[in-house]
Structures are given as C-alpha cells and as structure tokens.
C-alpha cells in the first residue's frame, strides 16, 4: 500500500429534489488496497459512486484522481481516466454473445475487421481466471443470472484500470463463485490496483477488505482498518443503533421452531416437471416457515415457480387446504391464496414506471378483475398504510417504484402481496441486495405474519438466514429434493453436508 | 412557478402547443379561419370541417392507442375499415331500409377482425406487426370479395346521415367521435383496464406474475381496436356514399400510428394518453387543411407534412430538447459549476 491516495473525494455534497443524498462526504482510496463501502439502503453508497464516475454531477466538493482535480461529465470519461466500474445491476446486452459483451466497445481488429478469433480466445482466458468455462459464443441470456454476473465481473477486471469499483457484485453468486472472485481481486490488489467494493454481506467484507468506510444517512460515519473494527461495532455504526448485533443474536435463539400441528395448507406429492424439476414432496402448514436450501441451480426457484403456477407441473398431485388442485397459471395460484415475491425483482416484480400506490394494489386489483376498480381513495389509503407499516422510504405514494432503493422496492412488493391477504407466501431471495437493517425489518415482519398463521416458503442463498428463520428445511441438490430436516437437527453445518452430498 | 413547472412537464403540453401553432398559422394566413357561420341550421366553418374530416381518424387512433400501450400494433385497421363499409353496403344494396342490420354487420366485421388479431397476438403469441399484417393483406381481399370488386354506391337515407348529416347543428360524425372518446376514456379510467394496459406495456412478465390474465386483456384491446375501425368504416362509407374495397381507409393505419405518437404515447408501450391521441389526430387533419389552404402545391404537400411531423417528433423528445437547449443555457449562464470544479483529465 502506498502513502498517497490514488483517489480522494473531499466535502462532497449532493442534493436530489427533496433529499440530501450526500453531505460533506470524504472518501479516499489507496493503490493496492481493497476498500469496502458499507451502509444501509439509502445511506448514499451508490450516490457516492455515481458522483465519482460522472453518472450525475455533485453540488459541492472536490474529487482528485492521482492528485489532480477531476470532474467527469459521463461514465465514459471516468473509464477513460482509468476508473472501471461494475454497477449494481447487470448492465450487459442479453442478446449479444458472452464474448461480444466482454469486448463491446473495444473490439480488437485485424485488417480493419473485427478479430473474432482473438475476442473469443481472450474471453475464454478472462473467464478461466474466474474458473468459468462456458461457450463464449452463445448469447448471454442463455445463461443463468449468476453466470451473467461473472461475465460482467470478467469484463470489469479485464480492462487495465487504476481504480476498480464493484457495486454489490456478489448478490447472486454462490460461495464458490465468491471465493474465485475474491482470489481475482486479491491478485489485482497485489498488482497495485485500488479496489472499491460495495457489499451487504458482513462475512465477505471481512474476508477481503483492508479498509472499511461506513456511511449512514448520506454522511460518512468513519473510515477504519478492517482488522480494527469488530463486526458488532460495524453493525452498530451502520444502523446508528448500539447493540444491534445483540438483537441479531437474539433473533437466532428466539426462533421458535415448534412444528405446527395444523393440517398442511399446501401438500405436494411428487410434483415436478420434466426438464425443470424432479418430483418433489413438500408440506407447508399454516404458521410454518419452510426453507428451501441448496446452491444456485439446485431447483429452489424452480420449486417456487411450480408452487406458484408460473410453471405447469406435469406430474404429481398438489393439494391446497385438502382439495386437489391443478395450477395452470399464477392467476390460479393467487385465487387459492398463494402469493410470490419473485427472485428477479427488477424483471419479474416491479412495474417500474408505475407509482408505489399502483404497484401495491396491482395484485389485489388483478384478483378483483378489470371491471371493479378500487376507488382512488381506497388505493391511496392502502398505499399509505403499507408505507407506514413497512417503513417504506418514499416522499409520496405517487413516486414511481423504479426510483426507490432495492430494499424499499422489496417492501412494496411485500405490501402488494399482503394486500391480497394470502395464506401462503413464497419469498424467493427477499433480502437479496438489501442492507442488514432492512433485511431484519423484512424478516421480522415475515415472522410476525407467520405467527398469525401465514404459511411461508422461504428461499435464500444465505444459509445462515434460512437456518435462522425456518421451522423446517427442504434441502435441494441438482433439481431434486435430497432431504428434509426439522427441529433440533437444524444447523448450518448439517445443511451444508446434505448439499454436498454427505449422509446424515 | 411550481404550477408552471408541472404544466411544462404535462404530457399533453407539446401536442397542444403544436395544434395551437398550426391554428395560429392558419389565422395569420386567413383571419376568418376560426369564424363559424350558421347556414340552414348547420354550423359551417374551417374548424367544423376539420373536426368532421378528422372524426374517423380520431376513432381509429383511439383504438390504436390502447393496442400500442400493450407493446402491440395493429396495421390492419385500414383493411377493417374497408371490410366494415363493404359489409354494410352489401346489405343496404339488397334492402336500403335495413340500416340497423347494416350497422350490426359492419360492427360484427370489426369485432371478428379484432378477435382474429387478438387471437394471433395474445394466444398464439405472434409478433403484433406480423399478426396484423395478415389481416391487412387478407382484409382487402375479403372487402373486394364482398363488393365483388366493384364500388357499391349507398343510397339509404338513415345510413347516409351518420357521415353526412347534422345533429344539433354539428355533424353527426363529430358527435360519434365525441361519444367514442368519452366512452373509451371512462372505460379506461373508471375501470382497472387503464392500469392493466399500462402494467402490461411496462412489464409483461411481472404483470403475469401478479395473477393478471394478460392475454385476455391484450385480446380485449385488439377487439376494441377492431370495433373502432368498424365505426370509422361506417362513417367513411357513409360520407363518400359508397363502399370501395380497394381504397376505403387506405393507409389509415399509418396516420393512426402517427396520431398516437404525436399524442405522446410511447411506441415502446406503457405510457399512453387518449387525450393526446385526439390532439394528434386533429394535428394531422389541421396540417392537411393548412397545406392546402396556404397554397402548397399538391405535389409538395406530403413533403411538407413529413417535415412538420419530423419537427414535432423531435420537439417531443426530452433528450432532443435538452440537446437543443443546452447551448442556449450556456449562453445565458457562462459561469457554470463545471468551470469552478476543474476540467477532466485528458
């Protein structure tokens, strides 16, 4: 690590209409370090990065790159100056091939035409560094989202840059992929690159960071060396709440894991679909949280889609409240009292240009039919009620949902389904890309609903989360249910063993 | 100031300004442009003439608006206009007293056309432009089969009144357009149809996953569009007192799409405005009137129309406005912030 920062931001102010997003924020980044930016949703992490890379201008303050004052009018200018950024959402072209995506805008040429051979070989090399071996000529959207994210990372790290910014690059990666990404980051650090890393995962922060800057409510809380900052102190600084970690621990012990004695609300026997999911048996009782554990691609989302009718099952029988049903569409599922917050919030959840109010009432209105419109007054009341109840941060119910942060969008989607008063709620990665505090708020809410008799099917890549909240866990591997554990048997280690194929 | 700001961002601002500008141009050319006279108990004057001639386009464009809002398009409306007119004419030719039956037949043709398009788009899953291209081509053929390749004259009094007659001093066709606009607006705003159509246009995947029968809504929207085309077909055939399988409603689909775009509805789906579409259709008709009245030679009218359309479209684009206004802003406030924070590295 050298003594002079490659990047220095001092006294940065940024105001959006009605919101002070950044206030007097200082930030510095040294070459040869991995520096993690932490904070809750709305703390200003993404705004700080956007200001730095010229997505939008700042109001006050100074940015220095290698000692010289800079001000980028557009991300391209920042890139030209050696700042490579991987933004939070995968921003690639799904219809182009993997290789085209990695070399888009900087195609190597040979005799005036694009050198496809070189592109494909170099892409394979770049991906091999991340232990990813895929057909680079196939279109990007033919791969799962995790692979897409790895491709985005490969693109970002394959450019020679002095500063690399990664805004939540690991949100859809499994542990192995994260480990490989970190290996690459460490290699880049040794080579003297300055890396700014944004994540919500505490473990990952400590696994890879040299230095941590904590932000809260648009201000900088402080800058620390990672080894000098215990995790409970970090959480307290992010939330501004002393002893937040105690609450966190209390959560783990409090989980009343009593199996429900009630008859199952949902009962699946051998429900599956060829090419999608091997037949699964699964019961979910009212007041019970059933976790689905497994790696990416193990069939978690696929199971959820079968339960929700988004995919039609071709074998098995499904019973809801004791009655045999066939779910041909999500509409059927909704009519039977099933609700589902999907995995891909942006693509399958929010209707971006519609307001918070319209997004909240959409599912309820869809069930009522097009003819019986909920009155505006009732819509408004409902929206305001949920905004207050779930603590959705927005200045108005008429704000388009697309402008909210990820955590708040997720809360709106939760509100959308709660408005339909469901009996079974499927939560597919409800806390992905959401900060710690919002995560606990959402999970608290889910648990209190469950206590009132709601059945919940819970999916998350964070094993500790699944183990902590679930009364029962179905373990999936290779699109097949391999085990079901409940009661005292619930421990992370055991779930990992089952996933890895060990005998229990 | 805040209210002014809201006005500046209002969806209907640009189409309304365009229309006003065109009208001012006409008034400048002929001061009596806006004056109305009463003759035989009927209102006469350029504005009435424009409204009367714009009526079929307004009606077709309203249906088109909903289709476009669901990310679709219907290029078969011109052919449906011809088929509806032909169906009515065939019945009236046999018995001029059966006006009600003729109207019913015309509307039934529109209904069937809409159902066919809706079936292909919503349930078979074809691309809307291809699906409706089928009927655009085949519909003309059907219309010619109905008319036997001839232009069938229409003489039934009651039927002719729809396109040519007056009610309370105003042409019937204007009344019909008004009623259709009001009914559709109520349908869209007083039921959840408008919300659903926008949701489908913005994010069809998410809309299906909230349990909405998207395909049924999309189907319904094409049916509405077909019915609107049939209503326009009745007015047009009544107005020209004949059914012409070849030329009735020719290229009407393109004018309708243009009216929808001029009205501020995005061709990408989602955001739509029925009021804007009405303004868009009136802009097109006023423009046609203006080019004739200020003496643009007939062979140049299409070029003039094209230029105006390009200008209007560019002005409506926020990005283009920002680009055009940027140099002006710099002129007025040269001491911008960028100068004080330094320039980027090279």
Q: What is the pLDDT of residue A360?
A: 95
d(CA B158, CA A387): 58
Determine, for residues B344 and A72 on separate chains, whether the beta-carbon distance falls below 8 Å.
yes
Chain B positions in Cβ-Cβ contact with residue A62 (cut-off 8 Å):
341
pLDDT mean across residues, chain B:
88
Query: What φ, ψ does residue B271 adopt, rounded to 5°?
Result: -70, 130
Q: What is the pLDDT of residue B63?
A: 97
Nearest residue to A151 (alpha-carbon basis) of A160, A162, A159, A140? A140
Number of other residues whose CB lies within 10 A of the CB of residue A143: 18
Total count of residues recorded for chain B:
346
Determine, for residues B208 and A308 on separate chains, whether the beta-carbon distance falls below 8 Å.
no
Q: What is the pLDDT of residue A248?
A: 42
Smallest CA–CA distance, residue A490 to chain B, in Å, is: 32
Q: Tokens at residue A358, please?
A: 């319209």
d(CA A220, CA A24): 8
Residue A291's DSSP bridge partners are A458, A473
User: How confident is the model over B33-52, as a mean pLDDT?
Assistant: 88
Determine, for residues A366 and B338 on separate chains, whether the beta-carbon distance falls below 8 Å.
no
CB nearest A331 (choices: B195, B211, B337): B211
**Residues A76, A78, A79, A81, Cα dihedral to 10°:** 130
Determine, for residues A65 and B345 on separate chains, whether the beta-carbon distance falls below 8 Å.
yes
Can you give the three-state secondary structure of B139-199, one letter per residue? HHHHHHHHHCCCEEECCCHHHHHHHHCEECCEEHHHHHHHHHHHHHHHHHHHCCHHHHHHH
Q: Is the pLDDT of residue B332 over 70?
A: no
Nearest residue to A273 (alpha-carbon basis) of A296, A243, A305, A246? A305
How distant is the alpha carbon of residue A9 from its chain centre?
28
User: How confident is the model over B88-116, as a mean pLDDT?
Assistant: 95
d(CA A2, CA A31): 6
CB B177 within 8 A of CB B183: no
E strands, chain B, where?
A: 37-39, 42-44, 151-153, 166-167, 170-171, 242-244
CB A127 within 8 A of CB A136: yes
Smallest CA–CA distance, residue A408 to chain B, in Å, is: 17
Find the distance separating the first CA and the last CA of chain A, reported in whole Å. Answer: 47
Residue percentage of chain B with pLDDT more than 70: 92
Nearest residue to A45 (alpha-carbon basis) of A168, A149, A171, A228? A168
CB B134 within 8 A of CB B79: no
Residue predicted with more confidence, B255 or A441 = B255
Tens digits of per-residue pLDDT, B291-323? 888 888 888 888 888 888 888 778 777 777 778
The ranges of chain A with pLDDT < 50 are 1, 242-260, 502-504
Q: Is the pLDDT of residue B52 over 90?
A: yes
ipTM: 0.84
Hey, which residues 242-301 in chain B have their CB within 8 Å of chain A? 270-271
Q: What is the pLDDT of residue A226?
A: 86
Which residue reads 């009526």 in tokens?
Answer: B55
Query: What φ, ψ does residue A229 adopt, rounded to 5°?
Result: -120, 100
Q: Which CATH architecture has domain B45-294?
A: Orthogonal Bundle (1.10)
pTM of the model: 0.74
Smallest CA–CA distance, residue B118 to chain A, in Å, is: 18
B211 touches chain A (CB under 8 A): yes
Q: Tokens at residue A452, please?
A: 């009132």
Chain A positions in Cβ-Cβ contact with residue B270 (cut-off 8 Å):
353
Chain A positions in Cβ-Cβ contact with residue B206 (cut-off 8 Å):
342, 347-351
d(CA B274, CA B182): 10
Cβ-in-10-Å burial (0-12, 13-18, 19+) of B149 comes to exposed
Chain B positions in Cβ-Cβ contact with residue A68 (cut-off 8 Å):
345
CB nearest A351 (choices: B192, B206, B211): B206
Q: What is the pLDDT of residue A247?
A: 41
Determine, for residues B202 and A354 on separate chains, whether the beta-carbon distance falls below 8 Å.
yes
CB A504 within 8 A of CB A473: no
Q: What is the pLDDT of residue A172?
A: 66
Q: Is the pLDDT of residue B122 over 90?
A: yes
Query: What φ, ψ does residue A266 adopt, rounded to 5°?
Result: -120, 135
Smallest CA–CA distance, residue A319 to chain B, in Å, is: 19
Number of other residues whose CB lies within 10 A of the CB of residue A402: 15
Mutate: best of A66, A366, A396, A416, partner B, most B CBs <10 A: A366
SS3 A404: coil
Residue of B nearest to A332 (CA): B211
Q: Give me the helix-helix angle, A231-239 and A436-451, nearest 10°.
A: 80
CB A467 within 8 A of CB A491: yes
B213 touches chain A (CB under 8 A): yes
What lies within 8 Å, CB to CB, of A176 at 6+ separation is none
SS3 B274: helix
Domain residue ranges in chain B: 45-294
Nearest residue to A14 (alpha-carbon basis) of B124, B341, B167? B341
Q: What is the pLDDT of residue A446?
A: 83
Q: Is the pLDDT of residue B4 over 70?
A: no
Name the band, by pLDDT with cuts 50, 70 and 90, for residue B256. very high
d(CA A171, CA A429): 10
SS3 A461: coil
Determine, for residues B209 and A308 on separate chains, whether the beta-carbon distance falls below 8 Å.
yes
Q: Tokens at residue B13, please?
A: 């601002």
Number of other residues whose CB lies within 10 A of the CB of residue B77: 36
Determine, for residues B341 and A372 on separate chains, whether the beta-carbon distance falls below 8 Å.
no
Q: What is the pLDDT of residue A362?
A: 95
Cβ-in-10-Å burial (0-12, 13-18, 19+) of B40 comes to exposed
Residue of B nearest to A360 (CA): B210
Smallest CA–CA distance, residue A373 to chain B, in Å, is: 5
What lies within 8 Å, CB to CB, of A285 at 6+ separation is A259, A260, A262, A263, A264, A265, A455
SS3 A158: coil
Chain B positions in Cβ-Cβ contact with residue A77 (cut-off 8 Å):
344
Q: Tokens at residue B274, please?
A: 């029925």
Number of other residues whose CB lies within 10 A of the CB of residue A471: 23
CB B22 within 8 A of CB B281: no
SS3 B135: helix
Determine, for residues A71 and B202 on separate chains, whether the beta-carbon distance falls below 8 Å.
no
Domains of chain A in start order, with CATH, are: 7-251 (3.40.50.300), 264-337+423-504 (3.40.50.300), 351-421 (no CATH)
CB nearest A330 (choices: B190, B211, B342): B211
Determine, for residues A331 and B195 on separate chains, whether the beta-carbon distance falls below 8 Å.
no
CB A163 within 8 A of CB A86: no
Tens digits of per-residue pLDDT, B128-182? 999 999 999 999 999 999 999 889 999 888 899 998 888 888 999 999 999 999 9
CB B194 within 8 A of CB B170: no
Cβ-in-10-Å burial (0-12, 13-18, 19+) of B14 comes to buried
Q: Give me the helix-helix angle, A406-418 and A436-451, nearest 10°.
A: 10
Q: What is the pLDDT of residue A501?
A: 64
Determine, for residues A367 and B211 on separate chains, whether the beta-carbon distance falls below 8 Å.
yes
Name the interface residues of A facing B (CB cutoff 8 Å): 57, 59, 62, 65, 68-73, 77, 81, 308, 310, 329-331, 333-335, 340, 342, 347-354, 358, 362-363, 365-374, 416
Residue A223's DSSP bridge partners are A213
Q: What is the pLDDT of residue A241?
A: 56
Total count of residues recorded for chain A:
504
E strands, B45-160, where?
A: 151-153
Mutate: best of B210, B265, B271, B345, partner A, most A CBs <10 A: B210
CB A220 within 8 A of CB A11: no
B337 touches chain A (CB under 8 A): yes
CB nearest A353 (choices: B191, B195, B271): B271
Name the band, by pLDDT with cuts 50, 70 and 90, for residue B280. very high
Residue percentage of chain B with pLDDT more than 90: 61
Mutate: best of B123, B206, B273, B336, partner A, most A CBs <10 A: B206
**No. of helices (H) and no. of strands (E), chain B:** 16, 6
Residue of A nearest to B345 (CA): A70
Determine, for residues A362 and B212 on separate chains, whether the beta-carbon distance falls below 8 Å.
yes
d(CA A306, CA A316): 11
Residue predicted with more confidence, B63 or B150 = B63
């Amino acid at each position: 690590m050298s003594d002079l920062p490659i990047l220095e931001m001092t006294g940065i102010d940024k105001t959006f209409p009605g919101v002070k997003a950044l206030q007097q924020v200082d930030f510095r980044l040294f070459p040869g370090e991995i520096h993690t930016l932490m904070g809750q949703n709305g703390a200003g992490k993404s705004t700080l990065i956007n200001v730095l890379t010229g997505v939008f201008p700042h109001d006050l303050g100074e940015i220095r790159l290698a000692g010289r004052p800079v001000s980028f009018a557009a991300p391209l200018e920042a890139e030209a100056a050696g700042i490579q950024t991987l933004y939070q959402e995968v921003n690639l072209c799904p219809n182009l091939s993997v290789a085209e995506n990695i070399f888009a805008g900087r195609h190597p040429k040979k005799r005036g035409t694009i050198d496809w051979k070189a592109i494909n070989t170099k892409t394979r090399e770049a991906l091999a560094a991340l232990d990813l071996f895929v057909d680079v000529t196939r279109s990007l959207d033919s791969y799962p989202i995790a692979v897409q994210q790895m491709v985005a990372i490969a693109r970002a790290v394959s450019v020679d840059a002095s500063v690399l910014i990664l805004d939540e690059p690991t949100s859809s990666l499994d542990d192995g992929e994260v480990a490989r990404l970190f290996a690459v980051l460490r290699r880049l650090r040794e080579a003297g690159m300055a890396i700014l890393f944004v994540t919500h995962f505490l473990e990952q922060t400590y696994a890879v960071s040299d230095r941590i800057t904590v932000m809260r409510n648009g201000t900088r809380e402080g800058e620390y060396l990672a080894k000098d900052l215990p995790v409970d102190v970090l959480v307290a600084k992010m939330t501004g709440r002393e002893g937040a970690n105690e609450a966190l621990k209390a959560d783990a012990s409090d989980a009343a894991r009593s199996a429900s004695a009630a008859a199952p609300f949902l009962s699946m026997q051998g429900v599956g679909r060829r090419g999608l999911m091997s037949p699964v048996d699964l019961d979910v009782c009212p007041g019970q949280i059933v976790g689905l554990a497994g790696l990416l691609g193990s069939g978690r989302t696929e199971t959820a889609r079968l339960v929700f009718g988004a995919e039609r099952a071709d074998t098995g029988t499904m019973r809801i409240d004791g009655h045999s049903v066939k779910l041909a569409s999500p509409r059927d599922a909704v009519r039977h009292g099933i609700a589902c917050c999907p995995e891909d919030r942006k693509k399958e959840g929010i209707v971006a240009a519609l307001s918070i109010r319209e997004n909240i009432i959409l599912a309820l209105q869809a069930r009522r039919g097009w003819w019986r419109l909920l009155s505006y007054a009732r819509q408004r009341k409902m929206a305001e009620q949920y905004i207050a109840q779930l603590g959705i941060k927005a200045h108005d119910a008429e704000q388009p949902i697309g402008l909210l942060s990820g955590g708040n969008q997720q809360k709106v989607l939760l509100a959308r389904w709660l408005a339909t008063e469901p009996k079974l709620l499927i939560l597919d990665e409800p806390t992905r890309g959401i900060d710690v505090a919002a995560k606990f708020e959402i999970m608290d809410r889910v648990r209190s609903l469950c206590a009132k008799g709601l059945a919940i099917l819970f999916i998350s890549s964070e094993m500790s989360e699944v183990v902590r909240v679930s009364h029962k866990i179905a373990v999936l591997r290779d699109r097949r249910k391999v085990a079901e554990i409940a009661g005292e048997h619930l421990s992370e280690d055991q779930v990992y063993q089952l996933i890895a194929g060990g005998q229990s | 100031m805040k209210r002014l700001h809201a006005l500046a961002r209002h969806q209907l601002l640009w189409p309304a300004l365009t229309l006003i500008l065109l009208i001012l141009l006409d008034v400048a050319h002929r001061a009596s442009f806006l004056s109305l006279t009463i003759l035989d108990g009927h209102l006469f004057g350029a504005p009435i003439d424009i409204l009367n001639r714009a009526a079929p386009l307004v009606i077709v464009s309203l249906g088109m608006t909903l289709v476009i809002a669901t990310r679709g398009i219907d290029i078969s409306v011109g052919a449906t206009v011809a088929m509806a007119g032909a169906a009515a004419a065939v019945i009236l030719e046999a018995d001029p007293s059966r006006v009600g039956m003729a109207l019913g037949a015309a509307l039934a043709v529109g209904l069937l056309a809409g159902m066919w398009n809706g079936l292909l788009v919503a349930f078979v899953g074809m691309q809307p432009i291809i699906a409706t291209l089928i009927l655009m081509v085949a519909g003309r053929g059907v219309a010619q089969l109905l008319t036997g390749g001839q232009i069938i004259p229409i003489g039934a009094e009651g039927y002719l009144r729809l396109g040519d007659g007056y009610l309370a001093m105003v042409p019937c066709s204007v009344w019909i357009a008004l009623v259709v606009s009001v009914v559709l607006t109520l349908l869209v705003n007083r039921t959840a149809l408008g919300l659903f159509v926008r949701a489908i246009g913005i994010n069809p995947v998410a809309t299906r996953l909230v349990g909405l029968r998207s395909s049924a809504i999309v189907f319904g929207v094409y049916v509405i569009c077909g019915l609107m085309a049939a209503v326009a077909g009745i007015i047009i055939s009544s107005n020209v007192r004949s059914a012409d399988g070849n030329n009735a409603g020719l290229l009407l689909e393109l004018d309708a799409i243009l009216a929808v775009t001029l009205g501020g509805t995005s061709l990408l789906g989602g955001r739509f405005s029925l009021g804007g579409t009405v303004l868009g259709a009136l802009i097109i008709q006023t423009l046609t009137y203006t080019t004739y009245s200020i003496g643009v030679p007939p062979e140049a009218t299409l070029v003039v129309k094209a230029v105006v359309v390009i200008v209007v479209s560019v002005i409506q684009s926020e990005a283009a406005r920002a680009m055009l206004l940027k140099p002006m802003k710099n002129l007025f406030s040269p001491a911008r912030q960028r100068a004080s924070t330094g320039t980027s590295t090279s």
